[in-house]
Amino acid sequence: MTASPQTQPTHVWRAVLGWGFLLWVIATVVLALTRDEIILPSVVLIGSFLVPVATIFWFIDHDHETELGERRLVTAFFVAGVLGMICSAALEIWLAPHRLLPNLWVGLIEEGAKGFGVYFMSRGLQRLEIRDGILLGTVVGLGFGAFEAAGYTLTSGLQGGELSLHRMISEELLREIIAPFCHGIWTGLLGAAIFSSRRRLTWRVVGTYLGVSILHAIWDSSSNAAVVLTVLIHGPDEARSALSPSALPFPADVEPQWLFGTLQWILMFIVAIIGVVLVRRLWHSRAAVPA
């Protein structure tokens, strides 16, 4: 996967995104017309993997001098991503419930699992360049996020044993929009720290791990935070006085919905911008250290 530094980006990601989106639309239309559940996995998997895979090709298109080979990247996406998600789900069942700040626990668990995947998949590299750390971390994070999105999409569409195409497509579209700005960004930052520290457990790695875990927790808390802010801004006095961490209203019950949605997206946008700015800064620092 190496080429001359003068080589221009090939924009393969555009073809992946365009053709993948066309396939997803066709599969979705056929599912809507026929209600044939055999097509359901195609809709879920194409939709969940489309943006993550296109994002990975975007990174590859913009860095032709990577030390990471195709086999390593594919393995990182599927194996590290899936194992990270499975381990995180198991640990969250055992550790997160009934604890103070559960979203922070989720962030610590998931970022730790993905960070271990980056560390494991970086074995044997002769050079540890920050861009490669970002790329490998992004691939692991997007693999994690793609399989997680597939699970959420399927769960949303099959509530009560009945297929709700509207709920499923709405969930899938939402997760595709946010896909490049969460798991991939956070694990990319952690990958950069791991590579710049020569795969050693330094204070930089620990600090980055804690930082991305906090960003993860804020992202996951955006819905609850928007509920609280909406009630405080627009809710009646009795609703404000009834607010408590253990008795928050359901997001669907909060009025007005436009205010709740706006506040939630603002919080997620802030987290996304912080991550993108940090990744962009690290992406342009081409420092490399011996493995």
DSSP string, 155-218: HHHTGGGS--HHHHHHHHHHHHHHGGGTHHHHHHHHHHHHHHTTT---HHHHHHHHHHHHHHHH
Q: Which residue's structure tokens are 């800064």?
A: 281
Q: Which two tokens stand for residue 142?
A: 């997007």
pLDDT interval class at 255 (50, 70, 90): confident
Other CB atoms within a 10 A radius of the CB of residue 122 amount to 22
Which ranges constitute the DSSP H helices of 62-182? 70-75, 81-95, 102-121, 130-157, 165-178
From 39-53, 55-69, 223-237, 253-267, the region with the lowest mean pLDDT:
55-69
Residue 103 near residue 220 (C-beta atoms within 8 A): yes
pLDDT in tens, 262-290: 999 999 999 999 999 999 999 887 655 55
Compute the average pLDDT of residues 185-212. 95
pLDDT in tens, 117-176: 999 999 988 888 898 999 999 999 999 999 999 988 988 888 777 788 888 998 899 898
DSSP state, 4? -
pLDDT > 80? residue 6: no
